[in-house]
Each structure stands twice: as structure tokens, then as C-alpha cells.
Amino acid sequence: MKKFMKKVHEKIKTFADEDDFQEGEEEYLELDTALKSKDKSSKIIVRPFVIEDFSDIKPILDTLREGYTIALVNIKPLKDKDLVELKRAINKLKKTSDAINGDIAGFGDDYIIITPNFAEIYRSPEQDELSEP
């Protein structure tokens, strides 16, 4: 991103320094908008987390807010330790997921998955029928 902004700045500076610029003459600035495949921020990361205590959700929340991570969270240690804290932690994760327009779902009994806004968790129609009262 720094290289891109530097190129834009240099082209604008060159454009402004030209003496032969006449008012009313239109000129266009060509920008390179192609993403580099080596750019680390353009990659999506699937990252595992383990919650053993309520304080363990802070790194998960920070990573989700960056927007390039799908979190696979093991909740079994906290589930075995304290169900009230587990519920509190999941509610906090759900609020953050909603705030970033992400998606959150349980995966088995011991895992939850949280995705950013560009990803959606598949839910089969059979699961929907089973979860309805």
C-alpha cells in the first residue's frame, strides 16, 4: 500500500510541476490497481484458538476486527471449567461477529467458527429443520 501511495504521490507531483499545463486541457492519471499476490494482507488466514478463560477471547476479537481471519475456536477447556463464563465469552464473540457483519456457528460440541463479512458458514437444510422448535 505504501508503494502504491508513493507512486500516486510522485505522479501527482510530476503532473503539478509541468509548465505546459493549460487550463481546460484534460489529462488522465493511470493507476495500477492490481493486487500483488505476494501482499500478505490480501491472504485469508484460518487460525485456531483455544479458550481456557474469558480473557482468552481478546486476541480472537482483535484478529477478527482486522478482517482477514477465519477463527476456529476450541471451547472445550472453558466448557469443562465454567459454563457461565463460556456463555459470556460466546455472547461477546457473537456481538463482535455481528458488529463486523460476520458469521458465527457451532461446529460439533467443542468448536465454534467465526468468519468475516465476506465469508458465510454453510448450514445444511437438515440442520435448520432440527434446530427449529
Q: Which residues neighbour 122 within 8 Å (Cβ) at sequence distance 6 or greater?
A: none
Which pLDDT tens digit goes with each residue over 61-71?
Answer: 999 998 889 99
> Cβ(92)–Cβ(56) under 8 Å?
no
Q: Output the pLDDT for position 107.
A: 85
Confidence of residue 13 (pLDDT cuts 50, 70, 90): low
Q: What pTM was estimated for this model as a whole? A: 0.62
For residue 130, what pLDDT is reported? 47
User: Whole domain around residue 87: which residue ranges?
Assistant: 40-131
Residue 71 to residue 84: CA distance in whole angstroms? 22
**Structural domains in the chain (count):** 1
Establish if 76 belongs to a structural domain.
Answer: yes
17 vs 6: CA distance, rounded Å = 16
Q: What are phi and psi of 131, to 5 degrees?
A: -80, -15
pLDDT over 70 percentage in the chain: 66
Q: Crossing angle for the helix pair 57-66 and 83-99, nearest 10 degrees? A: 10
What CA–CA distances, in Å, run from 130 to 2, 90, 120, 125? 50, 21, 20, 9
Residues 69-115 have pLDDT tens digits of 999 999 999 999 999 999 999 999 999 999 999 999 998 899 999 99
Cα 41 to Cα 57: distance, rounded to the nearest angstrom: 22
- pLDDT tops 80 at residue 3: no
Cα–Cα distance, 59 to 71 (Å, whole number): 11
CATH number at 64 reads 3.30.110.150
Q: Considering the domain boundaries, does residue 17 fall inside one?
A: no
Residue 1, in any domain of the structure: no
